[in-house]
Structure 1
């Protein structure tokens, strides 16, 4: 499954929905769903958010990497402290009810300016600002670039924080290849 369309179809099938029903969940007609699955069109963030609420693995759809669904539903959610260490924080203590606020949170967690993040995602700073203000939603291509920059797309779309294990895997994947190799060698060394 090399493209978003085939992975989207795979998730729809796994969840047991028809194209009509899955499209309706995402707020689109059956023809749009068909075009998404053929790769002729790309779904937007509002569609992805809606299907995530029904159990679709959006990270898998966008990137091809499956997330740990069980771990993402733990009671204690993780966030970054200013020192970069992990700390448990209750979700009710974080006021992030919209994609816009979660997108801004992730950008700040990555210590990027709006201009830097916009450039990494291949869009203008003005468009990025609209996303963070809630007057626009990023499409799947922008979300794919956001993920490559280290952003947590699943969190942005669903509001669910990753588990410590998921966060560790995401950080490992974001490391340069040479660092990944060094980490793997260190883990293979017997202590």
Structure 2
């Protein structure tokens, strides 16, 4: 199987995992829908800048490139941290902002020991 096509299939899986349509994700990434479709279904290779931006949006680019997902241990995250990050990445913008306010408030609160 063509490596670009396999990477494209994994890119599509990651996009869907985060709940984005092709149209929505292409807007988020600053590319045309046609380009997004090409990355996912044709021989067009997504470049490093695109993949870097995709990683910042929550996609696991190690999985996209290699076919192997990065585990919480490889990310140096505990399972709890990895689960929290997974939940966070599935929130919309407003929910993320609300969660950040709560987290910042909790971080400032004196700890109970």
TM superposition score normalised by structure 2 = 0.65
Distance in 2, matches of 1:155 and 1:177, equals 29
Question: Following superposition, which runs of at least 4 residues in structure 1 exceed 3 angstroms of deviation?
Answer: 164-167, 172-178, 188-191
The answer to whether the 8 Å contact 1:106/1:152 transfers is yes
State the Cα distance separating 1:185 from its structure 2 match: 2.1
Q: Does 1:189 align with 2:111?
A: yes
Following superposition of structure 1 onto structure 2, how do residues 24-103 of structure 1 map, counting pairs within 5 Å?
A: 98-103=6-11
RMSD after superposition: 3.6
Q: By percentage of residues, which structure has more strand?
A: 1
User: Closer, same or farther in 2 for the Cα pair 1:161/1:171, shift >3 Å?
Assistant: same
- Structure with the greater relative contact order (CA < 8 A, sep ≥ 6): 1 or 2? 2
The CA distance in 2 between the partners of 1:113 and 1:100, in whole Å, is 15
Aligned length: 96
Distance 1:99 1:180 in 2: 36
| Contiguous gaps of at least 5 residues in structure 2 | 90-95
| Correspondence for 1:171 among 75, 79, 85 | 85
CA contact (8 A) 1:150 1:170 kept: no
Report deviation, 1:180: 7.7
Which structure has the highest helix share of the two? 2
1:119 and 2:27 are equivalent in the alignment: yes
Q: Give 3-state SS (helix, strand or coil) of 2:107's partner.
A: helix
- In structure 1, the gaps of 5 or more residues are 1-45, 50-96
1:163 to 1:143, Cα distance in 2 relative to 1, 3 A = same
Deviation for aligned residue 1:107: 0.5
Please give the alpha-carbon distance, in whole angstroms, between the structure 2 residues aligned to 1:147 and 1:106. Answer: 10
State the TM-score, normalizing by the size of structure 1: 0.41
